[in-house]
Chains A and B, each alone.
Chain A
Amino acid sequence: MLTALILLTVLMILGAFIALESKDLLSGVISLGIIGFALTIIFLVLQAPDLAIVQIIIETMTLVILIAAIQKTTREDTSDEFDAKKVMIWCAGLVFIIVFLLAAIKAFQHMPAFGEPTLRMAQYYIDNGLSLTGASNLVAAIILDFRAYDTLGEATVLFTSVAGVVVVLRKMGRKRA
């Protein structure tokens, strides 16, 4: 099972490289779909069925929205010529990424090993979830009874993003003469 997870994560990294380096934007967006579907299989292997249902449908709708955006704008990525400023940006970016990776390796050595989490908060929810709320689905009991305030905040964020999308795409802009 560990080998299946490692293979799927390597597939996601390869898909991410293809999505960022391709010249045609449409093939880049379809590679993003590969990453989303591999993430769904990883969620199913890690015993999280609620997340798999949500992830697969939201992945499909994100693909449709991105393809509509490409249809309204250009289709080719023509802005990657090689000049002197690009070499400087590359060096600075690579230095930052390597420093970040070394700091993260040191930080991940202090976390508990994979497969034995410390269940200080969740042990109370697992033991008393069914008797206190009466719901069999523990994830639904957590997001709707123990922590319902966070769900209210999430509904507000979704509402605000819909209002933002409608406002941005409403009025006609000034065309340059």
Chain B
Amino acid sequence: MTGMTPIVKRIAQLMVPSILLLGIYVIVHGHLTPGGGFAGGVLVAGCFALLTLAYGTEEMKSEVFKWRASLLESVGIFIFWFLAVSGVVQGSYFCLNLISKSNPGIPFNLFSAGNIPLYNIAIGIEVAAALFAIFITVVVLKVGEKS
């Protein structure tokens, strides 16, 4: 799959930092403003899909491999499981909100609400990697080819 004309390449190059910054902002501020893990994760995946479509597959094959996307996705789920099980280890119920019980922060600040921002980051990594892996497998690779 070839890339597009230089105008499209230039505009994609200019827009990608803003979209990536917006996606990371929506993930990290998930407990204060609308958004959260899922909305920020699909924004980051959409940004990478835009880069792949604008530049074509020959240039992108040297940058991001498919196995790296599936590795990141496994890391995301592993962090989620680790945070959830840590409540059981303490002797209480599953998915306990640890930090909020020990020292509650001031509400409406960035460092409040205990475990929830950590869950947001784990879900954001997992959703972004999963959607990007689906996109590459269906659109970019030819049938019968693995990389």
Contacts and interface: CB of A to CB of B under 8 A. Distances in A.
Contacts of A170: 144, 146
Interface residues of B, number: 54
Interface in A66-97: 68-69, 72
Contact of B30 (A72, A133, A137): A137
A140 interface: yes
A170 B146 CA distance: 6
Given A148-B84, A148-B119, A155-B77, A137 B137 contact: no
Interface string A137-160: 101110111001101100110110
A156 B81 CA distance: 11
Size category of the binding interface on chain A: 35 or more
Closest 6 CB pairs of A and B: A172-B144, A49-B34, A135-B113, A135-B31, A148-B95, A134-B113
20 contacts: A53-B26, A53-B43, A61-B42, A64-B53, A65-B135, A65-B138, A134-B104, A134-B114, A137-B30, A137-B32, A137-B33, A137-B35, A139-B36, A141-B31, A148-B95, A155-B77, A161-B130, A162-B133, A162-B134, A165-B133
Given A53-B39, A145-B95, A145-B115, 13 more contacts: A53-B34, A53-B43, A61-B49, A64-B139, A133-B97, A134-B107, A135-B116, A139-B34, A144-B36, A144-B37, A155-B76, A166-B133, A169-B143
